[in-house]
Amino acid sequence: MSQSFDKKGRLKIPAREVPREELIVTKAMCAEGHDLISEEHKINGYPGIELAFRKLNGEEGVVVLSPILGDSTSVFLKGEVEEGETVKFLCFICDRELPILSTCDHCGEGYIYVLFLDDTFSFNNAITFCSKKGCPNSSIRKSDKIITALGL
Ligand SMILES: [Zn+2]
Ligand SMILES: [Zn+2]
């Protein structure tokens, strides 16, 4: 049987190839408008998203998240977070905690943090990530997807 048909004999329509640029965030701002994209710290070849974090025990650190949607690669510049650990995320420029959309619907422990993609500061044009390391929601995603998933 030809691979172009599924089990019921229907023609499989190949998924549209998404141009890579659509999947890479080139601007990510805190509520004060500080752009947290770091030209200095590239991840998988693209400028990463630099964030400060604070642990429950008060320890602080700095992490760079991958700017590629759905990619959970991250690099710690200072400090470390264990798998399964939940932290607070802050803007490394103004030191304010980033806006939170809700608790995570996936792990139930982390918070869904928000970074804005433009200066309308709309939750609808933003990216989100869960604050629990290792949660499938901890890689960045478009906020409209998560808003739909949460039924907000
Ligand atoms: Zn800031
Ligand atoms: Zn989560």
Query: Structural domain boundaries of the chain?
Result: 23-150
Q: DSSP assignment of 9-62, as one string? A: SPBPPPPPPPPGGGGB-S--B-TT--B-EEEEEEETTEEEEEEEEE-TTS-EEE
Q: How far is the C-alpha of 67 from the C-alpha of 71, rounded, in Å?
A: 8
pLDDT in tens, 59-110: 999 999 999 999 999 999 999 999 999 999 999 999 999 999 999 999 999 9
Ligand 1: centre distance to CA 94 (Å)? 4
Ligand 1: centre distance to CA 114 (Å)? 12
Ligand 1: centre distance to CA 29 (Å)? 7
pTM of the model: 0.85
Q: What is the pLDDT of residue 1?
A: 46
Encoded tokens for 38: 């770091």
Encoded tokens for 43: 């991840």
Q: Report which bound ligand comes closest to the CA of 34.
A: 1
Q: Region 132-150: what's the mean pLDDT?
A: 91
Q: Report which bound ligand comes closest to the CA of 128.
A: 2
